[in-house]
Amino acid sequence: MPLDYEGVGAAGSMLGTKALEIFDETTCVVRAVRRWTEFYKHESCGKCTPCREGTFWLDKIYERLETGRGSHEDIDKLLDISDSILGKSFCALGDGAASPVMSSIKHFRDEYLAHVEGGGCPFDPRDSMLVANGVDA
């Protein structure tokens, strides 16, 4: 696929900043999307309700999932909230917040379920960290 707006869009994704993150199997997709959600929540200007309230609640649900307090219903709530944001915000920030949530649940639902059924994140965060030689993680 060409790494341009049209090529990535045709594949069902987006290149808002032309940034590309690549993960291996040691990376927790739920944690990665939570980090992005925190960013979008922080960057929301607050003018439109879908983005302001939606990113707030997405962040709350991701926090529950990561700390072992999430439920199967929370996964559906993430999708419902994202659907309420997508295409309904004044700018593209809302779409940027909703799209990773929706696509990660579509493609990595098993990781979300592992967070619910296992009582929190099953991944060791140290496995996905780069650490300089001689530095303790």
More confident of the two residues 5 and 75: 75
Q: What pTM did the predictor assign?
A: 0.82
Distance CA(137)–CA(84), nearest Å, equals 39
Distance CA(87)–CA(72), nearest Å, equals 26
Q: Which of 69, 72, 41, 70 is nearest to 57 (CA)?
A: 41
Q: Output the pLDDT for position 26.
A: 85
pLDDT above 70 coverage of the chain, percent: 82
pLDDT grade for 131, boundaries at 50, 70 and 90? low
Q: Output the pLDDT for position 21.
A: 76
Domain boundaries, the chain: 46-117
- 8 Å CB contact between 74 and 81: no
Q: Which of 78, 15, 93, 82 is nearest to 48 (CA)?
A: 93
Each residue of 20-65: pLDDT tens digit?
777 888 889 999 999 999 999 999 999 999 999 999 999 999 999 9
Per the listing, tokens 């967070």 go with 115
Average pLDDT over residues 111-131: 81
Q: Which region among 7-11, 81-85, 89-93, 127-131 has the lowest average model confidence (pLDDT)?
A: 127-131
Distance CA(29)–CA(101), nearest Å, equals 10
Q: Output the pLDDT for position 118.
A: 94
- 8 Å CB contact between 61 and 70: yes
CATH top class, domain 46-117: mainly alpha
